[in-house]
């Protein structure tokens, strides 16, 4: 027969309430007791009865996740962190894909609410996103991740987990300057989202600090599209005076720029230096070896999920969670560091 919470309680010599607290990762039992209970539960092959739990708690034990583009290599790692953390706490995930459309984002949010999810994780918000208004008005649990709606009237009341994109943009330009580059192209994402805004601001500040000239024709908004980035790089490389380096605001676009550089018969990094942003799995592959900024994508997903479930359970602190992770420059071969070292 299937093991129950009472069976675990008897084997662990604790109350069923203590077992429930341990399995649902709630406060009330010590860490040592929690580990012992979970070890016994695993030994007895215990699996939670989510249907019964839902009837008792009036919850679906389901979270919604809204992303922009499942084909972008950034999102699978993010979703993995979210799903694994959610599953460990007894929740499942419904994933929605917006394709950078605010209308589709609204449809996704409405659909998730109609499915009675207990909370939503947004990775798609724009700087003044209107689709979170209904959630705020109804005090519905949600967390934003990767991006922040910093122009929204209620921005100060919104929980988020992000990377320090401003610092990341600054570090990229600083690194390229130290390698001797002074004609740096910036392939931007979408300037109505905070990641692109902050990475651009950080890059421009570094250019100013190091006496580099910002060249408007070397700045192209490519909406986080690999194909758009490919086309933009081809145009820039056809100029009489071309860039010597590219700062690309996500790794997916950086792969498009890489294709464009190679298709022009140029070499990376000997002819063109290339730095991305995200540190997707593909970035470290032999032959690509892309210098990039680590997003700590999996960790962001885990943190955002824990914050959301704490909010759902009424265990969140009264203050708003605003977590900003450090941006780490991951140096590989695509910017030339391994060949030439610092020149300045």
3-state secondary structure 94-106: EEEECCCCHHHHH
Q: Is residue 53 part of a domain?
A: no
Here the CATH number for the domain that contains residue 31 is 1.10.260.40
Answer whether residue 250 is part of any domain: yes
Answer yes or no: is 26 within a domain: yes
In a domain, 54, yes or no: no
Peptide bond just before 269 cis, omega within 30 deg: yes
Does one domain contain both 96 and 148? yes
133-165: b (≥16 Cβ within 10 Å) or e: eebeeeebbbbbbbbbbeebeebeebbbbbbbb
**Is residue 271 one of the residues assigned to a domain?**
yes
Together in a domain, 287 and 307: no
Residue-level pLDDT at 49? 64
User: Are 336 and 319 found together in one domain?
Assistant: no
Domain assignment present for residue 269? The answer is yes
Domain boundaries, position 139: 60-163+296-324
Cα separation of 5 and 41, whole Å? Answer: 8
Indicate yes or no: pTM above 0.85: no
| Count of domains forming the chain | 3
Residues 220 and 280 in one domain: yes
- Considering the domain architecture, whether residues 143 and 216 belong to the same structural domain is answered as no
Spatial CB neighbours of 1, under 8 Å, sequence gap ≥ 6: none
Q: What single DSSP character describes residue 327?
A: P
- Same domain for 169 and 290, yes or no, is yes
Distance CA 65, CA 74 (A): 14
Query: Are 89 and 17 found together in one domain?
Result: no
Q: How far apart are the first and last CA of the chain?
A: 71
Q: What is the pLDDT of residue 341?
A: 42
Beta bridge partners of 188: 221
Q: Are residues 68 and 216 in the same domain?
A: no
- Is residue 55 included in any domain, yes or no? no
289 plus 308 within the same structural domain: no
Q: Let me know whether 105 and 142 are in one domain.
A: yes
Here the tokens at position 101 are: 């459309």
DSSP labels for 170-232?
HHHHHHHHHTT---EEEEE--TTSHHHHHHHHHHHHHHHHTTPPP-GGGEEE-TT-HHHHHHH
The 10 Å CB-count burial string (b at 16+, else e) for 72-82 is bbbbebbbebb
Phi, psi of 246 (to 5 degrees): -125, 130
* Residues contacting 280, CB < 8 A, separation 6+: 73, 74, 77, 251, 252, 297
Series of mean pLDDT values for 10-residue runs along the chain (344 residues): 86 90 80 91 79 61 94 94 93 93 93 90 95 89 96 94 98 96 97 97 98 97 96 97 97 98 96 97 95 95 96 81 96 72 42
The neighbour count for residue 116, using CB atoms within 10 Å, is 11
Residue 52 placed within a domain: no
Whether 230 and 254 map to the same domain: the answer is: yes
Q: What CATH number is associated with residue 170?
A: 3.40.50.2300
3-state secondary structure of 128: coil
Answer yes or no: do 109 and 130 share one domain: yes
DSSP 62-121: EEEEEES-TTSTHHHHHHHHHHHHHHHTT-EEEEEE-TT-HHHHHHHHHHHHHTT-SEEE
pLDDT value of position 24: 73
């Amino acid at each position: 027969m299937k093991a129950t919470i009472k069976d675990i309680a008897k084997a662990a010599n604790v109350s069923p309430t203590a077992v429930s607290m341990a399995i649902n990762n709630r406060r009330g039992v010590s860490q040592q007791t929690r580990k012992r209970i979970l070890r016994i539960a695993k030994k007895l092959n215990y699996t939670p009865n989510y249907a019964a739990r839902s009837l008792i708690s009036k919850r679906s034990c389901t979270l919604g996740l809204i992303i922009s583009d499942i084909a972008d290599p950034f999102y699978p790692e993010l979703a993995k962190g979210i799903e694994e953390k959610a599953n460990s706490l007894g929740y499942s995930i419904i994933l929605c894909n917006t394709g950078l459309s605010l209308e589709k984002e609204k449809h996704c949010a409405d659909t998730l609410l109609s499915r009675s999810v207990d909370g939503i994780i947004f990775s798609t918000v724009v700087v003044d996103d209107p689709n979170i208004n209904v959630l705020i008005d109804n005090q519905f649990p949600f967390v934003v991740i990767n991006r922040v709606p910093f122009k929204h009237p209620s921005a100060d009341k919104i929980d988020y987990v992000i990377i320090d994109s401003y610092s990341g943009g600054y570090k990229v330009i600083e690194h390229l300057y130290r390698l001797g580059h002074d004609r740096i192209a910036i392939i931007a994402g979408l300037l109505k989202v905070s990641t692109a805004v902050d990475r651009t601001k950080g890059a421009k500040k570094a250019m100013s600090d190091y006496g580099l000239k910002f060249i408007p024709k070397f700045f192209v908004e490519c909406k986080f599209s690999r194909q758009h980035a490919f086309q933009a790089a081809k145009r820039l490389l056809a100029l009489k005076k071309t860039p010597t380096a590219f700062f690309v605001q996500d790794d997916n676009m950086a792969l498009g720029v890489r294709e464009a550089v190679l298709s022009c018969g140029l070499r990376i990094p000997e002819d063109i230096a290339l730095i991305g942003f995200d540190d997707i799995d593909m970035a470290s592959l032999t032959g690509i070896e892309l210098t990039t900024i680590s997003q700590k994508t999996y960790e962001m997903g885990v943190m955002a999920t824990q914050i959301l479930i704490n909010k759902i359970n009424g265990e969140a602190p009264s203050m708003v969670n605003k977590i900003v992770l450090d941006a780490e420059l991951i140096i590989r071969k695509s910017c030339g560091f391994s060949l030439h070292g610092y020149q300045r």
